[in-house]
Amino acid sequence: MSRLRESVTSVMHILDGADLGADYAVSQLLDETTARRSLDLSDLSPQEQAALVEGRAINLIPSAAVLAEKIEAARSEGRQFVIKYGIDPTSPDVHLGHAVPIIIASRLQRMGHHVVFIIGDVTAKIGDPSGRSSERPALTDEDIARNLSTYQQQVTPFIDFERADLRFNGEWLNKVSLPQLVEILARVPVSMSLQREDFRTRLAEGQGLSIAEFVYSVVMAMDSVAITADVELGGVDQLLNLQMCRKVMEISEQTPEVVITTPLIEGTDGTGSKMSKSKGNYVGLTATPDDVYGRLMSIPDHLTEPYLQLLTEWTDDEIRVVTKRLEDGTAHPMAVKRILAGEVVAALHGPHVAAAARAEFTARFSKRSFGDTQNLPVVSLKEHSEDTLGALISRTLDFAPSISAVRRVAQQKGLRLIREADGEQQTTQLTEASVQQALGAVVSEVGALDGAALYLKVGRKVARIEA
């Protein structure tokens, strides 16, 4: 029996009969599944490895069988099997959407393969045009340096960099000569780039499309050639870029890499849009444990199963057991969501921190009193009386990515002032108009505090307001 199968057997025993709302059961699950994130998977056969990867992929090109054959061939040749994952530092934050293919890379690393994590310090200057309706503003060297400064730290919970390489594509792209680039471009049909719907749409609408964007995928493909990649991972929106990598490797007389694309994870708002910082529906890898836990507890119920599939080490068999228990009423959706939130916090910070976040969430949202809640941010009314509520929430507290996002929370009736005294709460619903009011004016509408505590609630986030 493989090490993975032994772990699954242990988890299935818990899932089959335990009360999934009980702390002891959740603790047992987290201990087992968190340990699985570092589980040695090298005892799986090449066919089992390929099947495990395929189970979480949208595309596997050419096929799982070819992936297994390439793994077997690398073993026979006694060489490293190279896994490529690249990311352009176009923003300072990595979020859970980026983590989906990185988690697959982690599994491949634990299967004994060599991960090369490439930061696109050169390709970021072009900007990946995938899915964009207009040109991306150019980034300066200073922008790029600032954005990439913490990338390795952010993905370290998933990738063991003592056994992986961190590379910057400027190492080789800055040395490419014009004749080299022209030689490759001369053998790439224009039709490959024009397959992109986003390009065709922009051209049809008369939107800007630079030559740099048009050849972005060719430049990105040179990364694969530089490291002789066997496999490349990316979101499904990267499919055409990754197919170009196979083409350029073929032009360079290398064996084309196997392409693995993963689903685009839906944002926490459940509207169908992908997770994105610009939409405010993301969970950053640098967020606090309490924030990660709270954001995941706020997702609609229909996202729990896909999040379990894409963000945890749970297998399909285990997820099916939980799904069945939800259907027959022996597990509550909120209990399963708490397990999911704990899984993600444990992945980023460890199971003990996940347990503390669970307890904090329970104290903050499952009880009527905030008085015993730990780690609440505090806002001084004296210092911030003249600040508008929108600026306070989005900039001082960082509870929302923008003032517009604060307005949306108000429109959804998620913006409130809560006056608490002797365990009793008085709630004042704040309107969209309140977002532009000064904090002092908003608080004055509640009336004198007279020893009561005052809290500002923004969605599921809470801050205490002190005189």
Distance CA 192, CA 195 (A): 5
**Which segments of 58-192 are extended strands (E)?**
59-61, 82-87, 114-119, 165-168
- Please, what is the Cα angle at 353 between 21 and 154, to 5 degrees? 120
Nearest CA to 199 out of 411, 371, 191, 7 is that of 191
What letter represents residue 78's amino acid? G
Q: Is 157 helix (H, G, I), strand (E, B) or coil?
A: coil
* Cis bond before residue 351 (omega within 30° of 0): no
Distance CA 342, CA 23 (A): 11
- Written as six digits, the tokens of 400 are 């929302």
Could you identify the residue written with the tokens 């508008």? 388
Q: Phi/psi zone of residue 47: left (φ > 0), alpha (ψ -120 to 50 degrees), beta?
A: alpha
Could you identify the residue written with the tokens 């490293």? 80
pLDDT at residue number 422? 72
- Written as six digits, the tokens of 311 are 């963000």
Asked if 452 contacts 367 with a C-beta cutoff of 8 angstroms, the reply is: no
Query: What is the set of domains in the chain, with CATH numbers?
Result: 1-42+293-366 (1.10.240), 57-262 (3.40.50.620), 378-466 (3.10.290)
Asked if 423 contacts 371 with a C-beta cutoff of 8 angstroms, the reply is: yes
pLDDT per residue over 383-431, tens digit each?
898 999 999 998 888 888 889 889 888 887 789 888 887 767 788 889 9
Asked if 115 contacts 87 with a C-beta cutoff of 8 angstroms, the reply is: no
> Which one-letter DSSP state was computed for residue 44?
S
pLDDT per residue over 446-467, tens digit each?
765 666 788 888 887 888 888 7
pLDDT per residue over 288-332, tens digit each?
999 999 999 989 999 999 999 999 999 999 999 999 999 998 989
In the predicted model, is pLDDT for residue 133 greater than 50? no
Average pLDDT of span 220-247: 95
Q: What per-residue string of b and e applies to 23-58 under the rule 16 or more CB within 10 Å gives b?
A: eebbbbbbebbbebbebebeebebebbbebbbebbe
Distance CA 242, CA 235 (A): 10
Nearest CA to 108 out of 169, 156, 30, 40 is that of 40
Strands 415-421 and 424-429: antiparallel
pLDDT per residue over 86-97, tens digit each?
988 877 778 999
Helix (H) or strand (E) run with residue 11 in it: helix 3-17
Q: How far is CA 98 from CA 60, 72, 311, in A?
A: 18, 29, 10
Bridge partners of 466? 380
Confirm whether pTM is higher than 0.85.
no
pLDDT at residue number 445? 76
* CB half-sphere exposure, 379, CA atoms < 13 A: 26
Nearest CA to 263 out of 50, 96, 84, 85 is that of 96
- Written as six digits, the tokens of 347 are 């992945």
Average pLDDT, the chain: 88
pLDDT at residue number 372? 59
Q: Is 262 helix (H, G, I), strand (E, B) or coil?
A: strand
Distance CA 354, CA 342 (A): 5
Give the chain's radius of gyration (CA, Å). 25
